[in-house]
A and B are shown apart, each in its own frame.
Chain A
Amino acid sequence: MTVNGVARWTCRTHVDAVAKGGALEVAPLGHLPVIRDLVTDMAPFFDKWARARGQFQGARSRHDDFARIAPDDPQRRQVDAGIECIGCGVCYASCDLVSWNPAYLGPAALNRAWTLACDARDVATRERLRAVGGDAGCHACHTQMGCTERCPKKLSPTAGIAGLKRALARAALKGTL
């Protein structure tokens, strides 16, 4: 919800940390359709996760051995924080780009795409990079870092978006997009 004009993870926010002069104004989460009172429809938010190809796509079956990813694997460590996203929508409501470009996928969907792009088991990287590289994808981000500032889990979707930009640039130069 929005508390005193700022998107917050409301059930974990202490009133005395955000109340200004004893006043508290609560409103629905921004950038999402309001169903009623404080309830928003999260469907557009999660639809964008799907459009960013946020689904894991592996190539192994249950008959194969486990994929072995070392804890100190550099690629895996890049997303140590990003995989902790709880999908609360605070970053999405805090992003100005979403209001300027309603088709923009948003920080959470792009963070999800980044965690999968760094997943050695996933085999859909090419399709995912194509999905997040359009006019409404990672290149639309201005690095204003509203998402990173407001994330209640202290994650940095901005860093993930920057990672996607670099990955796309490399793929474009190699001609593998």
Chain B
Amino acid sequence: MNARGEALLWLTQRMSAAVLAFCVLVHLVTVIVAVQGGLSAAEILGRTRGNVAGLVFYTTFVMAAAVHAPIGLRATLGEWLGWRGASRDIALVLFAVLLAGLGLRAVAGVFGGAA
């Protein structure tokens, strides 16, 4: 990949890291606060389903993770396995799509549907 592509990948990873740092913090605080009194799965789903703010937040979270993880994995594959070049990048694009797909499916399951 050329210098511009590498620079943009680096920038994308830093930006997605900033989004993830915020999302992880909000997620952990929410979980800790929400379960203080004890919650069943049905009670959690009762609160989350149809919650638009939650849907937007966790969709952002999933997309940031789907962008961030493959870029980091790209360096790991190059250094540990010596796997570089177009085949690695194609495999990682597919990995990003897989992460996004699985994550969005989970988000749809938790936040989709009527309240």
The chain A residues found within 8 Å of chain B, CB to CB, are 97, 100-101, 129-135, 137, 139-140, 142, 165, 168-169, 171-173, 177
- For the complex, what is the distance from the CA of A101 to the CA of B78, rounded to whole Å? 8
Q: Is B43 an interface residue (CB 8 A)?
A: no
Q: Cβ of A169 and Cβ of B1 under 8 Å apart?
A: no
Q: A139-B10, A169-B11, A172-B8 are in contact. Are A133 and B3 (CB under 8 A)?
A: yes
Whole-angstrom distance between the Cβ of A139 and the nearest chain B Cβ: 5
The chain B residues found within 8 Å of chain A, CB to CB, are 1-4, 6-11, 75, 78-80, 84
Contacts of B4 in A (CB 8 A): 133, 171-172, 177
Other than the known A135-B1, A171-B4, A172-B3, what 16 A-B pairs have Cβ atoms closer than 8 Å? Answer: A101-B79, A133-B6, A134-B1, A134-B6, A135-B84, A137-B3, A139-B6, A139-B10, A140-B75, A142-B75, A165-B7, A165-B10, A169-B7, A169-B8, A172-B7, A173-B11
Contacts of A137 in B (CB 8 A): 3, 6
Residue of B nearest to A100 (CB): B79
Q: Cβ of A130 and Cβ of B3 under 8 Å apart?
A: yes
Whole-angstrom distance between the Cβ of B90 and the nearest chain A Cβ: 16
List 13 A-B residue pairs with CB atoms under 8 Å apart, sorted by A's residue number. Answer: A100-B79, A129-B3, A133-B2, A134-B2, A135-B1, A140-B75, A142-B75, A165-B7, A168-B6, A169-B7, A169-B11, A171-B7, A177-B7
